[in-house]
Amino acid sequence: MPVIAVLVALGYAAAAYFLVILPRLRQVSAGGEFDVKSVEDQLTTETAYAGSVAKAVKDYQAVNPALKEKVFLAMPAEKGIPEVLAALEDLSARHGMVIVSLDAVVDEKTVLPSGEKVVSIAMNLTGAEYKTFKVYLADLQRSLRIFDLQSLVFAPKTGSFNLSLKAYYLEPL
């Protein structure tokens, strides 16, 4: 009887090894489901990414605040339609011109590949001759806010100018 008990115990041990322990060993061995190496690789990758994010934040904080302000003036984080209208009005007044009509519309459909959004501006100016208007355009080009002149129509007899412009902005993330 003791021999049978020993054989039964060895049978249970062998069954436990092959049915319980061996499948778990395969899971934790190299290439298995719970392989420590793959977890360590993932941890290394995520640590490197966290380091690069921390470096980017540090680099951003190190940028000159005056330079950041200049960039945000050129490409603000808001539509800034009142500021655009005020800037165009001020520029026109400095050149002795009068804005007859001005329409600014946010173009919700247009988003440039780098994320900029567009404000379309249509305006009619009067009160200056062509030479003065050329100086006006040069000042518009030098303004901090980015404007793209899309079209220009000059009526020499009336001294009026119809402009179509685009201004850009970046929405905050």
CA–CA distances in Å: residue 144 to residues 15, 64, 88, 147, 151:
80, 17, 12, 9, 20
Is a pLDDT exceeding 90 seen at residue 22? no
pLDDT band at 17 (very low <50, low <70, confident <90, very high): confident
pLDDT at 124: 94
Is a pLDDT exceeding 80 seen at residue 68? no
Mean pLDDT of 7-36: 77
What residue type is assigned to position 17 of the chain? Answer: Y
The two tokens of residue 141 are: 């080009």
Q: Domain map of the chain by residue range?
A: 2-62, 74-169
For the chain, what percent of residues have pLDDT higher than 90?
24
CA–CA distances in Å: residue 37 to residues 6, 18, 86, 122, 133:
40, 25, 62, 62, 70
Question: Tens digits of per-residue pLDDT, 120-170?
Answer: 899 999 988 888 889 999 998 888 788 889 999 988 888 889 999 988 887
Mean pLDDT of 63-87: 73
Is a pLDDT exceeding 80 seen at residue 43? yes
Q: Would you say domain 74-169 falls under CATH 3.30.70.60?
A: yes
Question: Tens digits of per-residue pLDDT, 76-116?
Answer: 666 778 888 888 899 999 999 999 999 988 877 777 777 77
d(CA 137, CA 149): 9
